[in-house]
Chains A and B, each alone.
Chain A
Amino acid sequence: MNAIEILGLTKEYGGRRVVDKLELSIPAGELFALLGVNGAGKSTTIKMLSCLTVPTEGDAQLMGHSVRRDGHAAKEILAVSPQETAIAPNLTALENLELMAGVYGRSRERVDQVMERLDLARWAKARARTLSGGWQRRLSIAMALVSQPEVLFLDEPTLGLDVLARRELWGVIRGLKGHTTIILTTHYLEEAEALADRVGVMNQGRLRAVGTAEELKALAGCDSFEDAFVALAGEGAAS
Chain B
Amino acid sequence: MRMRAFAKRNLKELLRDPLTLFFGLGFPLVLLVLMNVIQRNVPVHIFELDTLAPGIALFGLTFMALFSGLLLAKDRSSAFLARLAASPMTAADFLLGYLLPMLPMAAGQTAICLGAAVALGLPLSWNLPAVVLSLIPSALLFIALGLLCGALFNDKQVGGMCGAILTNVTAWLAGIWFDLSLIGGPFQAVAYALPFVHGVEGAKAALAGDWTALPGHLLWVSLWAAAVLGLAVGLFRRRLVER
Contacts and interface: CB of A to CB of B under 8 A. Distances in A.
Interface of A: 47, 50-54, 72, 75-76, 78-88, 90-91, 95, 98-105, 127, 143-144, 147
A75 B17 CA distance: 31
Contacts, number: 80
Contacts of B6: 99, 102-103
Contacts of A81: 83
B183 interface: no
Interface of B: 1-2, 4-6, 8-9, 12-13, 16-17, 78-80, 82-89, 241-243
B89 A82 contact: no
Contacts of B80: 86-88
Given A82-B83, A91-B9, A95-B9, A54 B243 contact: yes
Given A52-B85, A84-B78, A86-B80, 17 more contacts: A51-B86, A52-B82, A75-B88, A78-B86, A79-B86, A80-B83, A82-B83, A86-B79, A87-B80, A90-B16, A91-B9, A95-B9, A95-B12, A98-B5, A99-B5, A102-B2, A102-B8
B12 A102 contact: no
A80 B86 contact: yes
A72 B93 CA distance: 13
30 contacts: A47-B242, A51-B86, A52-B85, A52-B86, A52-B241, A75-B86, A75-B87, A79-B87, A80-B82, A80-B83, A81-B83, A82-B83, A84-B78, A86-B82, A88-B13, A90-B16, A91-B9, A91-B12, A91-B13, A99-B6, A99-B8, A99-B9, A102-B1, A102-B2, A102-B4, A103-B5, A103-B88, A127-B16, A143-B83, A144-B83
Nearest to A75: B88
Closest 8 CB pairs of A and B: A102-B5, A82-B79, A86-B79, A84-B79, A86-B83, A53-B242, A50-B86, A90-B16
A81 B8 CA distance: 22
Contacts of B5: 98-99, 101-103
Nearest to A48: B242
A85 B12 contact: no
Contacts of A52: 82, 85-86, 241-242
Contacts of A127: 16
A80 B89 CA distance: 14
Contacts of B12: 90-91, 95
Given A88-B9, A99-B5, A83 B79 contact: yes
